[in-house]
Amino acid sequence: MQRHHAVRGHHDTVSAAGEGAGTVTSNPDGINCGSTCSASFASGTAVALTANPAPGSVFTGWAGGDCLGTAPCVVAMTAATSITAAFTRTFVLTVSAAGAGVGTVTSSPTSITCGAICSAAYASGTVVTLTATPGANSFFAGWSGGGCAGTAPCTLTLGGATVVTATFDVTRPFTFTDPDLSSGFSIIKAVHILELREAINTARINRGLRAISFTDPNLTGGSTTIQAVHIAELRAALDEAYAAGGTYTDPGLGVETTVVKAMHIRELRLAVQALP
């Protein structure tokens, strides 16, 4: 709602328009608009106008009569003056959490910090960006509601009451075949490589990285030879998920020159399990 205050020597007149709601009061008393939208004041009187938004509205500022901002405006009645008080509707943005994991959601402009504060009222048309941060042993699985999707920060323009859900899931340890691989006693199998590929790609996707396409995608037990390139690819894919290089046995693993060892598999398994 917009309130127009015309100050004319000894007389003030108020008119109203707009989508929000609220009142404007004066000091000295005289104007209480809503109900009393005009009043007479002695010439030279300093009249302080205060805007009071109604529930579901917000006062967004003054215009005219040298009034600016949202603080009370003081007008010296030396000439006829028109002042506008703008009221805009507000809408509540609510963030809810789902999933077995933990995390927080923050907003820009800063009003929501969920965990603690999970809803806030914003003026109609406000552009709000929500950012999800997973907690310990959790990852952010994605948004739903309010037009939000994926895992990147979500930006929405409020035109009504909106509910957005942030889903956090638990980072679960992976289970591998032959968990007690031992050098000199264990045969390296196709299933060991396939399991690591699946685990590492899962970790990458949870961190917003693309899944990797590996050499010999259809490794088959008994018919596919495990090669050094299979280990090298797994290391590179995992290092990117960590955003840092790991330290491995035989770091200069050569495609034709290095025998694949149980240690190579064990190191990769430990690195996957230790991902934060």
Strand ranges in the chain using DSSP code E only, listed in sequence order = 2-8, 11-17, 22-27, 32-33, 38-40, 46-53, 57-63, 73-76, 81-98, 103-108, 113-114, 119-123, 127-134, 138-144, 154-157, 162-170
Residue 43 predicted with pLDDT over 70: yes
Least confident of 29-33, 90-94, 239-243, 249-253: 249-253
The 10 Å Cβ neighbour count of residue 206 is 18
- Report pLDDT for 5: 43
Exposed, middle or buried: residue 257 (CB in 10 Å: 0-12, 13-18, 19+)? exposed
- Report pLDDT for 165: 96
pLDDT in tens, 163-211: 999 998 876 655 656 666 555 555 677 777 787 888 887 877 777 778 8
Residue 38 predicted with pLDDT over 60: yes
Domain residue limits, the chain: 2-89, 90-170, 190-273
The Cα 110–Cα 123 span in angstroms is 13
Arithmetic mean of pLDDT over the chain = 78
pLDDT in tens, 99-119: 888 899 999 998 999 987 899
- Report pLDDT for 212: 76
CA distances from 228 to 24, 186, 250, 251 (A): 78, 17, 10, 11
Hey, what amino acid is at 152? Answer: A
pLDDT band at 90 (very low <50, low <70, confident <90, very high): very high
Query: DSSP assignment, residue 204?
Result: H
Tokens of 199: 């685990």
Instruction: Give the global pTM.
Output: 0.59
- Identify whether the C-beta of residue 95 lies closer than 8 Å to the C-beta of residue 130: yes
